Amino acid sequence: MAFHTLVNGEGSGSAVAQLFGAVYGAYYVHEATVGRTDLDAFRLAEAALHDCAVRGKAEGKFTTTADGMAAIQKVLIFRDEQLLNLPAYIIADAQARLSEFVVNDSLSPIVPERKHPHQ
């Protein structure tokens, strides 16, 4: 629902917050099941939501680019697959980690991309 409000140009800060929660929840499940690899989709969705939040605060309209919408949607589809296919305890553990993240001062739970030294 929150995603569709953004797509329809009716997004809000609340919708963006819900989407951040979904993206971070999916990240925590991914980290628990796959590890800290293949994180680009999460980083792209997070960046799109950040862009959307900044735009919403500055202009009063919570929108992002078509590429940003696609990045968010990709993670939401992944999240749906996780919810359908993984044991409840993994989802519950991820939700607990998300709750811990919300009350700390971190800007993002997603592991930063490693910079490779130039050779």
Digit-coded pLDDT (tens) for 44-58: 999 999 999 999 999
103/99 Cα distance (integer angstroms): 7
Share of the chain above pLDDT 70, in %: 95
User: How many angstroms separate the Cα of 81 from the Cα of each of 13, 15, 62, 88, 91?
Assistant: 26, 21, 26, 13, 12
CA 54 centroid distance within chain: 15
Give the tokens for residue 107. Answer: 């800007």
What is the pLDDT at residue 117?
55
Q: What tokens appear for 76 in the block? A: 């939401």
pLDDT in tens, 32-84: 999 988 999 999 999 999 999 999 999 999 999 999 999 999 999 999 999 99
Global pTM value: 0.89
